[in-house]
């Protein structure tokens, strides 16, 4: 209780941080609920309109045009919102689209048409993307040289977001992923990819305070250190590792001192259109760094990633300083209750009666009067958060 009284400002900051996070969570879910409600109402209105039309109760031409205009506007806004949920390559893809005189919707439509073309028997990125680039060259009157330059720029833009060493061929998979065709590899290549990314994360010290490869493996996919992944595990690795990279990069940019623990709690498929990844972490560092990391997660929607913080717990290690100071003043023996009371709440070394050292000895020390409690402004934060992914526009083979 005395510790709380002496650190009332710290307690207030913690409380305000939790309240602010709770409010942001409320706003996030309120916005999602609003969109879902609007979609449901639009669907209901559409069904009622169709029923009325069949019964002979036909709307006038002007109303029909207004209904169609509102429907298209709603679809556009809904699509724009959905495209910020787990689209890590979208920013680079938008820049590429502008360079090749196209819109985002146009690229989506063209690539989807290629994927769904019955004549295309092999529906892989290394087959479909070159055909997309070739069709854009013809339709937009772009030279092969300029198209290649635009594509290389796309790869360079993505390279700034990952530790993976990207190649021209890798760019096919990433542009395809940006347009809805999820990346895939063989089991052996996925194992190589995972091993290389984990090593890069460790070599570049992407996780604050972590210097061992084994810890990076524990934080990500340690179950595939000696064995090859298969089936759904391949897709999981290829999609989740970029998420891990993004989280670790935000931790590093926030200048956290140490990531004490980190794990993925679960992956839950909310519906055919949304999947949510849950994470928890224990981090250590200055309060400003904790705040910067939290704010980075909250503002990640600007980078087409959506995180929702569900829990924050903050604690201080100042009690360790108190214990070290007691030992320094009283020695390794157990101090009397009077001695303990004499130092409780002290922030500076002061003469204490009945200690094992005289007042003169204490005053003669070169650091007499210096601050010895409160030097460590670091705190430990336990944070739980979710990462949302929109999968409704993923391209899948028709059965």
- Mean residue pLDDT of the chain comes to 81
What average pLDDT does range 147-162 have in this prediction? 96
pLDDT for res 351: 46
Which of 167, 154, 155 has its CA nearest to residue 94?
154
* Each residue's pLDDT tens digit, 73-100: 666 677 777 878 889 999 999 999 999 9
Same domain, 206 and 313: no
Looking at mean pLDDT, say which of 66-80, 115-129, 243-257, 335-349 comes out highest.
Answer: 243-257
Q: What is the distance between the alpha carbons of residues 116 and 278, in angstroms, rounded to a whole number?
A: 33
Same domain, 285 and 383: yes
What average pLDDT does range 185-203 have in this prediction? 96
Rg over CA atoms, the chain? 29
pLDDT for res 316: 80
pLDDT for res 72: 65
Higher per-residue confidence, 81 vs 225: 225
pLDDT for res 208: 97
What average pLDDT does range 120-125 have in this prediction? 88
Same domain, 92 and 210: no
The helix or strand, by DSSP H or E, that contains position 384, with its residue range, turns out to be strand 378-390
What is the CA 72 to chain-centroid distance, rounded? Answer: 31
Beta strands 378-390 and 258-269 are unpaired
pLDDT category of residue 30 using cuts at 50, 70 and 90: low
Same domain, 122 and 232: no
pLDDT for res 2: 52
Residue 305 belongs to some domain of the structure: yes
Same domain, 301 and 211: no
Residue 353 belongs to some domain of the structure: no
pLDDT for res 388: 95
CB count within 10 Å of CB 257 equals 14
Same domain, 195 and 307: no
Question: Lowest-confidence range among 7-11, 264-268, 352-356?
Answer: 352-356
Of 138, 168, 183, the residue at which a domain comes to its end is 183
Same domain, 237 and 286: no
Which of 279, 239, 255 has its CA nearest to residue 207?
255
pLDDT category of residue 395 using cuts at 50, 70 and 90: confident
Domain that holds residue 99: 78-183
Q: What is the distance between the alpha carbons of residues 146 and 100, in angstroms, rounded to a whole number?
A: 9
Which residue carries 């931790």 as its tokens? 251
Same domain, 147 and 102: yes
Higher per-residue confidence, 15 vs 274: 274
Higher per-residue confidence, 24 vs 180: 180
Of 183, 211, 227, the residue at which a domain comes to its end is 183
What average pLDDT does range 104-110 have in this prediction? 94
Q: What is the distance between the alpha carbons of residues 145 and 43, in angstroms, rounded to a whole number?
A: 47
pLDDT for res 120: 82
Question: Lowest-confidence range among 47-51, 178-182, 334-338?
Answer: 334-338
Residue 231 belongs to some domain of the structure: yes
What average pLDDT does range 171-197 have in this prediction? 95
Domain count, the chain: 3
Higher per-residue confidence, 398 vs 242: 242
Q: What is the distance between the alpha carbons of residues 171 and 166, in angstroms, rounded to a whole number?
A: 7
Which of 296, 289, 297 has its CA nearest to residue 314?
289
Question: Lowest-confidence range among 6-20, 59-73, 105-119, 205-219?
Answer: 6-20
Number of residues that make up the chain = 399
Whether residue 385 has pLDDT greater than 90: yes
Which of 342, 243, 368 has its CA nearest to residue 300?
243
What is the DSSP secondary-structure string of 137-194? HHHTT--HHHHHHHHHHHHHHHHTT-SS---HHHHHHHHHHHTT------HHHHHHHH
pLDDT for res 73: 67
Same domain, 275 and 381: yes
pLDDT for res 349: 44
Residue 48 belongs to some domain of the structure: no
Residue 164 belongs to some domain of the structure: yes
Residue 64 belongs to some domain of the structure: no
pLDDT for res 118: 86
What average pLDDT does range 202-213 have in this prediction? 96
Residue 367 belongs to some domain of the structure: no
* Each residue's pLDDT tens digit, 292-328: 999 999 999 999 999 999 999 998 866 665 566 566 5
Whether residue 335 has pLDDT greater than 70: no
What average pLDDT does range 173-197 have in this prediction? 95
Burial of 334 (0-12, 13-18, 19+ CB in 10 A): exposed
Residue 56 belongs to some domain of the structure: no
Helices vs. strands in the chain: H and E counts, helices first: 15, 4
Of 183, 208, 229, the residue at which a domain comes to its end is 183
Same domain, 161 and 268: no
Same domain, 281 and 383: yes
**Terminal C-alpha separation, the chain:** 65
Same domain, 210 and 237: yes
């Amino acid at each position: 209780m005395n510790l709380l009284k002496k650190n009332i400002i710290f307690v207030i900051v913690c409380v305000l941080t939790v309240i602010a996070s709770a409010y942001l969570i409320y706003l996030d879910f309120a916005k999602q609920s609003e969109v879902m409600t609007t979609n449901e109402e639009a669907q209901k209105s559409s069904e009622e309109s169709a029923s009325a039309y069949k019964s002979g109760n036909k709307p006038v031409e002007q109303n029909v045009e207004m209904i169609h205009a509102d429907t298209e506007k709603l679809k556009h806004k809904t699509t724009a919102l959905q495209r910020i949920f787990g689209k890590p390559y979208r920013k680079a893809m938008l820049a590429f689209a502008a360079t090749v005189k196209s819109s985002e919707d146009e690229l989506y439509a063209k690539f989807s048409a290629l994927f769904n073309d019955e004549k295309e028997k092999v529906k892989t990125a290394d087959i479909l993307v070159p055909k997309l680039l070739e069709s854009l060259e013809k339709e937009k009157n772009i030279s092969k040289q300029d198209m290649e330059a635009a594509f290389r720029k796309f790869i360079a833009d993505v390279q700034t977001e990952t530790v993976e060493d990207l190649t021209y061929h890798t760019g096919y998979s990433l542009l395809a992923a940006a347009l809805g065709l999820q990346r895939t590899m063989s089991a052996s290549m996925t194992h190589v990819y995972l091993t290389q990314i984990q090593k890069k994360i460790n070599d570049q010290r992407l996780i604050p305070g972590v210097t061992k490869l084994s810890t990076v493996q524990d934080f990500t996919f340690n179950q595939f250190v000696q064995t090859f992944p298969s089936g759904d595990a391949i897709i999981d690795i290829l999609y989740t590792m970029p998420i891990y990279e993004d989280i670790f990069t935000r931790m590093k940019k926030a200048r956290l001192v140490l990531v004490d623990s980190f794990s993925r709690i679960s992956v839950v498929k909310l519906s055919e259109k949304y999947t949510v990844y849950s994470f928890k972490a224990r981090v250590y560092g200055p309060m400003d760094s904790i705040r910067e990391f939290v704010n980075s997660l909250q503002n990640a929607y600007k980078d087409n990633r959506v995180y929702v913080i569900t829990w924050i717990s903050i604690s201080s290690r100042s009690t360790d300083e108190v214990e070290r100071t007691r030992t320094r003043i009283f020695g390794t023996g157990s101090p009397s209750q009077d001695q303990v009371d004499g130092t409780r709440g002290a922030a500076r070394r002061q003469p204490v009666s009945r200690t094992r050292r005289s007042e003169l000895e204490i005053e003669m020390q070169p650091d007499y009067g210096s601050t010895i409690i409160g030097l460590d402004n670091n705190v430990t934060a336990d944070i739980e958060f979710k990462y949302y992914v929109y999968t409704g526009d993923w391209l899948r083979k028709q059965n």
